[in-house]
Structures are given as structure tokens and as C-alpha cells.
Amino acid sequence: MATKRFIDKTIGVLMGGLSAEREVSIKTGEAISTALSRRGYRQKPILVDRDLPFRLKEKEIEVAFIALHGRYGEDGAIQGLLEVMNIPYTGSGITASAVAMDKMLSRELFRAHGIATPPTYVLNQAQADDFRPDSLSFKFPVVVKPASEGSSVGISLVENPADFQAALKAAFQYGPKILIERYLSGMEVQVGILGDRALGAIEIRPKGRFYDYNAKYVPGMSEHIFPAPLAPEIYQAVLGLGLEAHRALGCSGYSRADFLVEQSQEPFLLELNSLPGMTETSLMPEIAKGVGIDFDTLVESILDAASREIT
């Protein structure tokens, strides 16, 4: 049950930002602002730009609800600013946010904790012109993606070497480092974490071959099944791995772990989102709803956990 510890504070809902996920963030922020208003909080939506410190002072923000996604919002940058300004904030702290955003670094930690991740090769921009696809230790098809973005921006499923350079070019638009990983076929499963509890797992069935940007945000391009139709022991194993991933990175408040469960029933962790989407139709709220937690209660629970002393 929510404690309403910030009911007398001015809550700034930080949305928008400077990343490729700005529009998704605005939708998240608007939904959160509406939920907080319904619960009686004094909330102020703030469109984040480079004048954010001024805006926080101007609006007399006492607590920040971070509704940002991607670079500068999910990677520890905003978290560091808020700590300098002594403003409590929702979600994970600086270190956990930065590590979760770096897909390769986070995968190294996951593997150290015994959590399987897809076979992956890291490529930086200086290597791109001379890189030969036949040097990979796994065969096509492969998935090419930015190392530090979310919402499936810049991601490509590459069926053959002829399309490889175009995929690299698309991914490098979002940063100087990309991942090339073995394509895994199987069930897309997402685990929602709230506090220190794995709430449940949902299956995503994209209309296309894999879960890309359109499958996430275009209505009708994917089907959601809750709970994910896994064998009971596999379902519990995926929940346990999601919580272990959350703990391994030192995340706080809430997160969402994204898995691919192969036909052999072996789960592979793709990434952990430290600030998952929070529109009323996003996966995290959908998982919470499946276990009896309505959207407003979920938002208030996340706010209750806000801190400025997370590492």
C-alpha cells in the first residue's frame, strides 16, 4: 500500500528529453502526470531540455518523477544532476542507470551472475569500414543494434551479408558503439519488477519476425499474452532471472527485464530497462494489472520509492 510520503511535495514529472525516444517519453510522462493528479498530488509536467536546472528551480520542484527514456534520461545523466540539486527522484541511481543503458557492460554483469545472454560482438565506428561479417563466430541472420538506446530504435534484423553495411549505418546513427548478436528465434517474454518483487511475465507476439519499433508502438502490430504461456517451472525460472538481473545491476524502484525463450525452453536475457515505458498500455503497467495492481497504484508505488541516495 502506498505511504503517500510525498503528498505535500511538488512533483516534477520529467518527460521528453534529448534522445531518440522523446515522443515515447512524452506519452509516458503525460500518463504519469494524469495518474498523480487523480491521486491528489501537486504535480508539474516538465518538458526536459538543456535548461532543465533552471526549470526545476523555477517550478520549485521537490521530487522528480523521471519519465525519460534513452540517452541523458536513462543513463545516469539526469540522475546525477538531480543528486547535485538535492532532489529525490524515482527509479535507479546513477551507477545502475548507466550500466543498464550500456547493453554490453550489463551483459557482462549478467553472465557473471549466471544469466545467459545471446552471443554478441561489439563494434565501434573506427572498426566498421574494415569489419568482415564472415569473421563472426555465428551465422546469419544477425541482429544489429545500438549499444546504448532503447525502444528498438536503430535495430535491424539482417538476413544476409549484402544488407550488413546498411544495418551498421542505421545503428551508428544512435551512438559510436553497436552490438551484433546472433538472432534467436523463440518467445519474447518481459518480466516486470516492482520494488524487490518480480510481478509476472508477459509474452509479446509481434506480427513481423521480431519485436522492432513498429511492433512496440503501432497498434495491432503485436499481441500480448499474460501470463506468458510457459511451463510453470520455466515461468518461475524467468521471474527469478529477471529479479536476479535487477539486483545484479543494483537497480531500485522498478524495471523490466526482456527475455527470449528459445524452443529448447532456455531463456536468454536481452536487456534490462531501468525506466520502462509507463503509458497505460505499456508492458510494465499491463503486467502490474495482471496481478491486481492498477495504473494509479503502480505510479504511486514508484513515487513512494523515490530517493536521492541511491548508488
The residues that are catalytic are 21, 151, 217, 256, 258, 271, 273, 277
- Cα first-last separation, the chain: 25
Residue whose C-alpha is closest to residue 164's, from 139, 198, 197:
139
CA distance 167 to 177: 13
C-alpha cell at 6: 510525498
C-alpha cell at 187: 518467445
Backbone region of residue 184 per phi and psi (left: phi > 0; alpha: psi in -120 to 50; beta: other values)? beta
CA–CA distance from 294 to each of 66, 121, 297, 304 (Å)? 19, 40, 5, 15
CA distance 300 to 254: 12
Number of other CB atoms surrounding residue 3 within 10 Å: 11
CA distance 232 to 211: 24
CA distance 222 to 217: 9
In contact, 214 and 208? CB cutoff 8 Å: yes
CA–CA distance from 28 to each of 123, 173, 289 (Å)? 32, 24, 16
CA distance 20 to 302: 24
In contact, 95 and 251? CB cutoff 8 Å: no
